[in-house]
Structure 1
Amino acid sequence: MRVITEAELRDQYKQAEFTSYRLPAGTGLTPSAQQFLSERRIKVLNGATDGLDMEPKTRPDARENGEAYSVLETGQKLDEKPEHLTHIHGRILVAKNHPRIKFRGKLDHLQALLISAIIDIEGFGYRELTRDLGEMLEYCRQIMSAEVTGAPLAPLTFRGLSNLEIREHSHHPRRHYDVSHIFIQPGHGRVMAQLNLLRTETRELELAAMDAFHGQPEGIERPEGMERPDILQSLNRLSSLVYVFMLQLVSGSYKVGS
């Protein structure tokens, strides 16, 4: 399946801004392309017709129409978006090294690692584990959408386990999987190494989220309502979930061919 990249969308948007995008049949969007469309409130339409939907955005005078860009840190109004700034929400701009933009990059990176792990682990024959990782990937996409749009994020669940039960399973492996806590060694093999990489990347993502949403980092203006306890808690549970995957692998719950 062909995927549409952020670079392609950005080039088309520079030529003529649009409010909706018709996704050609048999194609998908990369995570960064999804973010590009979400940030600009561009509606994605599915259909066989290639290219842009016929809804160009006309903006003869951005300031008169109240559509000027606004720089979050300074309140400055701009008709055009400078290259060193990017969208944080709607037409609000921040520097590309803003903590929330760094968080989005980390989340994008985790999704890329998940896709790579799913492909590799499927090749080893662990179909059930592959499906579980696919669910994790989908939840990461929900996190991205919730962060960009400001929508609430549903708590993480897994196979009937609640948010709190995921934590309980990760903290007490002997009780739930009859194995001890895992200290990763090369002898655990490639699949375990892939899961451990995902676990550590998820922890890094949680730290990036702390910078983005918790407290008041020096020099960062944070509007009211920007903190996201739902995202912070879900990321904490997400790393626990990956550890649960690892426990299930070492306990034999995941089997080749199933």
Structure 2
Amino acid sequence: MGLSGSGMDLPTAVLLGIVQGLTEWLPVSSSGHLVIFEHLSGVRPPLFFNIALHLGTLLAAGWLLRKDILRALRATPRALRTFREGTSDPDERTVLLVLLASIPTAIIGYSFDTLATDWLDSLPITGVGLLMTAGVLWFSHGRGGTHDAATVPLTVGAWMGLVQGLAVLPGISRSGLTIAAGMAAGMRPVAAARLSFLMSMPAILGATGLELLQDREGALAGIEPIEFLLGVAAAAITGFLALRWLLMLVEQRRFHWFAPYCGVVGLMLLVL
């Protein structure tokens, strides 16, 4: 079904891009807000449009973290060679942390994908997820240590990947859980946030690629170019601004500021 056939118009496409850009990175759950949007508007965006919005937010992260990504790419061959012996190089360890995170994330994500998930897209389930996110964010206040990618145990990568996989549930914030998990493991808040953003990139690419493979014909049907382009642009621009703002709040140890919002919205979804 194309954009127009799905009840979407140009303002709706731009609004979805803004919502995706903000909620992909801010710890408030993009999947949860998509469920809320669909229930309130009656609009279910086409699969390819959703994928495109994810790629827009990835562009934002890629630009903001371009130096980290380039260093990680250059360090990848060395990291694979030194995996067994161990390494203290921060770039090599970043690569290993991301790889170790990707394994449990992929297993959990694929496992949920094989199940019937219609019941997950309900407002009560989303409300419960947002309440859980609120609790994690509030618990994270005052946490964090002195470790970064150079000193944190590599098992922390698997730990963060495990909680990242849980974000397949609507209302569970991927960035919220992974940053909090890194801080709980003793990482500096900003180091945990940057690692969280880096490990999200292969996860988002893998999830969107799987969706596209499963519904190639339906995903690519009837895309309106102007709505597509403006939606992606809105997602990329707002995603970049959201990333910058979140990094600032994390550095100021105000990460928990989003807990009341998630809690209030979660309670409203359970009551309505």
TM-score range, shorter chain: under 0.3
TM-score, with normalisation over the residues of structure 2? 0.25
Structure with the higher fraction of residues in helix conformation: 2
TM-score by structure 1 length?
0.26
Higher-Rg member (1/2)? 1
Higher relative contact order, chain-length normalized (CA < 8 Å, sep 6+): 2
